[in-house]
A = this chain, B = another copy of it.
């Protein structure tokens, strides 16, 4: 199965939430879906520069199992699949918001610049520091 080894007995809510969000692209997927509402597989792929198809599928499936996203398959001739946030996914995003603020402030404090999508697309993983 693709489903990972996680889901230990959680000692607190943070634990549980972090588990659900831990995954290299989960945060960005949530963000993409929040921004655009509904996205197709290839659109998400283009939105997350560097992600491989396998991993994207994997993450999406996990998030579907976690009831964060809905996967809608259209039985059309050129395959079409759409992803959108569920109610819980949206709630998670709301809960993530203050964390995002904290993170932004941290970035600002460190004098590090926010890299936008376009630039990130060009670089693979520059590993600054």
Give chain A's interface residues, CB within 8 Å of chain B. Answer: 5, 7-18, 20-22, 27-28, 30-31, 67, 88, 91-92, 94-107, 110-120, 123-129
With A8-B127, A12-B114, A127-B11: A95-B104 Cβ-Cβ less than 8 Å = no
Chain B residue numbers with a CB within 8 Å of A100 are 12-14, 17
In the A-B complex, the 10 residue pairs with the smallest Cβ-Cβ separation, listed nearest first, are A13-B103, A17-B103, A13-B104, A16-B103, A13-B100, A9-B115, A95-B102, A95-B98, A14-B100, A17-B99
Contacts of A10 in B (CB 8 A): 103, 107, 111-112, 114-115
Contact of A9 among B91, B92, B126 (CB under 8 A): B126
Q: What separation, in Å, do the CA atoms of A5 and B119 have in the docked complex?
A: 14
In angstroms, Cα B65 to Cα A106, docked, is 13
